[in-house]
Structure 1
Amino acid sequence: MIWSGIEYNGKHSYRDFGLTLESRKIGNPSKNKILESVPFSHTQYDFSSLYGDQEYVERQLTYVFNITGEMGRNHLYVRETDILHWLMPPSKKIKLKDDKLPGFYFLAEVMENPDDEDYFVGGKLSISFTAYPFKIADREEGHDRWDEFNFLWDVAQTTSFTVSGRLDTILHNPGAKHARPDIQASAAMQIIKEGVTYQVKKGESSSFDFVLKPGQNHLRIIGNGSISFNYRKEMI
């Protein structure tokens, strides 16, 4: 599709700049292995998952665009300046959406100026982003948009509950890494997960300790009122 491209920093590569996409390379993140060797031994210990998750290094996203339009170097330089004003200002990783991956976004930033190669009737622009290792779902778990449901990895589930004394339930994390949900409760409650009790205050809260591992998470919620868990799946 000629209009296929990326949306970044409030603008789209084709709709706003007329850039046609020649190629894309969405690199996969590598594992960040933390290995320690035992002196005088061939044994190594792997501490990469010490805190529950396998850590990954940042991933690289590379896009090569065709700069089309009028002939002439001056025109190309003007177009390039306009594009740089789009790409370079963000000082941190922000949302990047790739039309090839509907339903997900990356957190990415351009670290170095894009490379360009001028031609007589046009040019090519190569843009490399440094991105957070995982792609993140657009919608939180528990959404009811069935036209966006993916039967390969999505889970139809409820993430909001009414509790009257005690409630046993299951929350699914279909992602590849632990999810740390934002919890909204109408009253103070307790959550028991894998034998550990977590105190939940009234209002909005989150905890570094309370996470949902990939797969099923069995919860016992004690209290009275409404409670909701807001989180998104993250995929490699």
Structure 2
Amino acid sequence: MTCDGFSVRGRHLCEDFGLCIADRSLSVPAQKRATVSIPFSHGEIDFSAINGEVYYESRELAYSIDLIADDPAELEAQVSEVAQWLAPVCNDDIAEDSMPGYHWRASAASVGVSRDDSGTAATVEAKFSAYPFALADDECEARIAVGTNPVVNRGSMRARISIVPDGTVTLTVGNLKQTFNGPTATNLYLAPGDNEVEVSGGSALIRWREGIL
């Protein structure tokens, strides 16, 4: 039997607790809306993507975890241990066995428990508010040189560029330009799909982290 679990805060549901996910749900993130209603006109004006990008609200990520014990005291000890593990989750990475290579950035919204009449079985319901994109565990990287460099962001969100320049290097991405002479987390972003990075002054290594909806 395969145990489906997740890890967070240095512990794994299956490996450290001997438990499995009984049920899981993940909401589809809603768009953040910025609209204006003008008197004496039909409908409304939607400015949500005025800069060319759609923004999203957080997702709800929820797990049901079944616990069974030999007696009520043992059950309460299990419930307490799981609750103490999950309740403090705050801007932590949740890595699911079913999504290798990606993780969720999440905070606990609620951790509740329901018990059956026997006193030896319970279900822990843990709900998290998660960043709308699943983030890649590993950063992508590319060497860029003077001239026009094609760079592909295979994710579905804009990805912020970090740079390790060889000397003084100027990057232009879209309409934005920055000059660097040391390792920096830039204010430049790669759009999803194909990008052109203009380089002058020298070569550099760039890194970015992709995310998927």
Give, as a single letter, the amino acid of the residue that structure 2 aligns with 1:131.
A
TM-score, normalized by length of structure 1?
0.83
Matched, 1:74 2:52: no
Match of 1:160 in 2: 143
Partner of 1:33: 33
Aligned to 1:211: 189
Q: Give TM-score, length-normalised by structure 2.
A: 0.92
Listed as ranges, the matches of 1:79-228 within 5 Å are 79-90=78-89, 92-118=90-116, 120=118, 121-142=120-141, 159-161=142-144, 163=145, 166-194=146-174, 196=175, 198-208=177-187, 210-224=188-202, 226-228=203-205
- Determine the C-alpha separation between the residues in 2 that align with 1:202 and 1:98: 39
Residue 104 of structure 2 aligns to a residue in which SS? Answer: strand
Task: Verify the 8 A CA contact 1:73 1:118 in the aligned structure 2.
Answer: no
Q: Cα deviations across residues 52-94 of structure 1 (Å, max 9, x unaligned)?
A: 32111110011111113x322111111111112211223x311
Alpha-carbon deviation of 1:50?
Answer: 2.8
Instruction: Tell me how far 1:119 sits from its aligned partner.
Output: 5.2
1:134-188 per-position Cα deviation (integer Å, ceiling 9, x unaligned): 110112124xxxxxxxxxxxxxxxx123x3xx22211111111111111111212
- Closer, same or farther: CA 119–183 of 1 in aligned 2, 3 Å: farther
RMSD between superposed Cα atoms in Å: 1.7
Q: Structure 1 pair 43/111, CA: closer, same or farther in 2 (3 Å)?
A: closer
- What SS does the corresponding residue of 2:56 show, helix, strand or coil? coil
The structure whose residues are more often strand, as a share, is 2
Give the stretch that moved more between structures: 111-120 or 5-14: 111-120
- Does the aligned pair in 2 maintain the 1:94–1:109 contact within 8 Å? yes
**Aligned equivalents of 1:118, 1:186: Cα separation in 2:** 64
Percent sequence identity is 25
| Cα separation, 2, equivalents of 1:84 and 1:193 | 46
Gaps of 5+ in 1: 143-158
